[in-house]
Structure 1
Amino acid sequence: MSTAADAPTDADPERVASALSTAEFVRIYPRPTGDALAAAGVLARALDARDTAFQVRATRDEAIPDGDGSALALGWTPPNATGIPSGSRPVSAVAADVADAVGVEPDPIVGLAGVVAAGTVPGEGASGSLLEEAERRGVVDRRPGVAVPTADLADGLAHSTRIWTPYSGDPDAARELLADLGIDTGSDGAAEIDEDAHRRLASAVALDATADAPDRAVSAVERALRPYATSTGPFETLGGHADVFDALARERPGLGVALALGADVTDAALSTWRDHAGRVHAALADPTTGRYDGAFVVRVEASPADAPALATAARLVREYASPEPVALVVSDDAAAAAGDGAADTIAALQAGVEATTDADPDDASAGDTDRAEETNRDGDSVDVFGDDRLGEARFAGGDVQAFIGAFREALR
């Protein structure tokens, strides 16, 4: 099996803070991930508190565009600017340290939502100071239950992409579950319930999510239980906030930037989250699966418009269904792969694209990058994007079996 290149080291917050402290104008370029969008919000708010002008734009480019002022990349390492790359710590946690270093208290809700989006439990990943500040301010309160963004539990359960259960994508089935548990959420689904009801719900979700699932499903569902409620935030829980950030990063990163900056876009954000989750769960409703040495492959029916949902689907498959370390979800013209960072999923996706599009290998971009582009013989653009834990590919159709074969071979 091929191994990934050495993971980038965490950025030095003091060095980044020094670059920002003397800047008159800062251009912030987060990768379209929930963690990086939250980090952009943390730093933009800190810059605003210092009366430093800034601009935020999510990007998949390999380099920072030319422009005035100082540039900062979040979630990646550009060749021509300061960057806070993905590393052992969530990008949002490093961003919070940068805000501290420039003398501004970071927004703990936004920062912790990014920490959760990175797959880390609040307080871990060196985010303890963020959690302590949130608790000191009284803006988080841990309680039993499930982490969803909405007060309507059936809506939250059906559209969550933090869990994968028999009622995922089906609000009616989620309401039946609540009724079977004797949980009355009122006519609008948003009535408050007591801690005992939250515990019953959490137990049922844990059982449903881990039945016939790999061992890692236990850890995945645990991260979605005992949520931190956020009475002053735009959503009901930190985990729900993270779920929305992830969906916006895939579907509408510009809206994700607006949310991170504190704009009143809650309704639009929730609508996008529901649409994204609906596509994710629809794609996984009736897949064709295959298990190979090192990879669990899921063939799905999905239109080109559904391509942004495949990365979320791959993450769910790996967490809740894959007996192998890497999960690949592939349609006729897009694919996504999720792993633990031990295998180079970007290189494997690139190999799949080359096999599927019959591209000239001599024209390939370096496989060990955040993004690689090629042009096939028909002039169609193909794209590989992401990191060793979660990568995506777009291609112009072709022999999907060849894609799968080349992907598997690249993992060996």
Structure 2
Amino acid sequence: MAATGRSERDLAARLTDSAFVRVAPRADGEAIAAAGVLLRALSSRSIPYQARVVPLVEDPPDEATVPIGFPDGFADERPATAAAADLARDLDCDPDPGLELAGRLLGGDDPETDLERRDGVGIPTADLPDGLAHSTLFHAAFSGDETAAGAELADLVDDDRAVASLTALETVGADAASERAATAIERALRPHVTPEGPFETAEGFADVLDCLAGDAPGLALALATGHDVRTPALDAWRAHSKAAHEAIREADTGRYDGLFVARIAGGPVETIARLLRDFRSPEPVVLVVSDTTAGAAGLSSATAGTGEAMADAAGAVDGTGGGTSTRGVARFDCPPEAFLESFREAIA
């Protein structure tokens, strides 16, 4: 369903006349942000709704009125949050600017916005050691370790530019940093301030949503719809981040033609794969494999679709898999090496 022009207005009219709306976002930060924009608009119009986050390995439920984040579904080629924001306006509801921008940033969009930008790093908290240590917008020597982050900041004056410079140097200057790191770190710098939102910056809001999407989708959806869940959301974000950064340091890695592989004992495989793709991998596709789960992240030009490749690889070993064009997850009950070979065939 293309959410543009006339069809978007038609959808708004149908939602207004609906007795009950079922919204089904995928377990992806962008899709959940888009769902939050739409659900807030439905609530403002007193339109009854039900919302359920759908795991990446599942198809949207047949009864869904508005599936979000699925191929050939709501928004088609448009960023989901951009389409949801326009739909909300058609419902006479102005989207929350921080939530809208967070979702659009997660979708790789960089729209014009009235939100002020400042120097520094896009973290969700006002506490710098906490925010820098637990951010998953980058991977640096101090990532996952609040004490180490505090020590790095100890000799700095209270200057946002100095903090941004430190973060960039620690990220891009690492011996293992990839060429893409210099570009990837930019999404964390000069953040947009969100004084009316639950977090300090839109970039920090996006980071929290993305971390919660897989681990705690219900909490992510509650956050996106405006419920007061800041404290548990930050707790979940910290735990997720710490596990991801520790797993990166302890991973056994290998390189194939076009593929970078990391073998881990456990952790949030999607986030680990994304961080490795952006800051460590010399190859365009990353596969992170534990004993029973895998996550993949690829550049948009790397394959026909990372999620599609994960689905194919999982299907070949009687597992389940799926995802988006640039990220995917899989579950399997076979030796991890067998899944790796299956994935290599799927992206060949």
Matches within 5 A, 1:4-403: 11-12=3-4, 13-60=8-55, 61-66=58-63, 71-77=65-71, 83-85=73-75, 87=77, 89-121=78-110, 123=111, 128=112, 131=113, 135=114, 140-180=115-155, 182-183=156-157, 193=158, 197-211=159-173, 212=175, 213-302=177-266, 306=267, 309-342=268-301, 343=303, 344-354=305-315, 357=317, 359=318, 382-396=319-333, 398-403=334-339
Which shifted more, 19-28 or 263-272? 19-28
1:408 matched to 2:344: yes
Q: Give me the whole-angstrom Cα distance separating, in 2, the residues matched to 1:333 and 1:224.
A: 32
Alpha-carbon offset, residue 210 of structure 1: 1.4
Residues 310 and 335, structure 1, Cα contact 8 Å, conserved in 2: yes
Gaps of 5+ in 1: 1-8, 184-192, 360-381
Alpha-carbon offset, residue 62 of structure 1: 1.6
Alpha-carbon offset, residue 243 of structure 1: 0.7
Residues 310 and 323, structure 2, Cα contact 8 Å, conserved in 1: no
Alpha-carbon offset, residue 247 of structure 1: 1.4
Residues 24 and 60, structure 2, Cα contact 8 Å, conserved in 1: no
Alpha-carbon offset, residue 351 of structure 1: 4.6
Q: Give me the whole-angstrom Cα distance separating, in 2, the residues matched to 1:55 and 1:247.
A: 23
Alpha-carbon offset, residue 85 of structure 1: 4.8
Q: Give me the whole-angstrom Cα distance separating, in 1, the residues matched to 2:191 and 2:311.
A: 38
Letter in 2 for 1:385: G
Letter in 2 for 1:166: A
Gaps of 5+ in 2: none
Q: Secondary structure at the match of 1:255?
A: helix
CA spacing shift, 1:41–1:349, aligned 2, 3 Å:
closer
TM-score, with normalisation over the residues of structure 1? 0.78
Residues 348 and 406, structure 1, Cα contact 8 Å, conserved in 2: no
CA spacing shift, 1:263–1:84, aligned 2, 3 Å:
same
> What is the root-mean-square deviation of aligned Cα atoms in Å?
1.9
Residues 32 and 250, structure 1, Cα contact 8 Å, conserved in 2: yes
Q: Give me the whole-angstrom Cα distance separating, in 2, the residues matched to 1:209 and 1:145.
A: 14
CA spacing shift, 1:352–1:49, aligned 2, 3 Å:
closer
Q: Secondary structure at the match of 1:404?
A: helix
Letter in 1 for 2:154: A
Q: Give me the whole-angstrom Cα distance separating, in 2, the residues matched to 1:354 and 1:73.
A: 24
Q: Give me the whole-angstrom Cα distance separating, in 1, the residues matched to 2:14 and 2:46.
A: 15
Letter in 1 for 2:153: L
Alpha-carbon offset, residue 287 of structure 1: 1.2
CA spacing shift, 1:105–1:346, aligned 2, 3 Å:
closer
Letter in 2 for 1:277: S
Letter in 1 for 2:121: V
Structure with greater Cα Rg: 1
Alpha-carbon offset, residue 395 of structure 1: 1.1
Letter in 2 for 1:320: F
Alpha-carbon offset, residue 86 of structure 1: 6.2
Q: Secondary structure at the match of 1:141?
A: coil
Q: Give me the whole-angstrom Cα distance separating, in 2, the residues matched to 1:157 and 1:171.
A: 8
Q: Secondary structure at the match of 2:188?
A: coil
After TM superposition, which residue ranges in structure 1, 4 or more long, deviate above 4 angstroms? none
Q: How many residue pairs end up in the alignment? A: 339
Q: Give me the whole-angstrom Cα distance separating, in 2, the residues matched to 1:346 and 1:53.
A: 32
Letter in 2 for 1:402: A
Residues 34 and 103, structure 2, Cα contact 8 Å, conserved in 1: yes
**Percent of aligned positions that are identical:** 44
Letter in 2 for 1:11: A
Residues 312 and 321, structure 2, Cα contact 8 Å, conserved in 1: no
Q: Give me the whole-angstrom Cα distance separating, in 2, the residues matched to 1:118 and 1:160.
A: 18
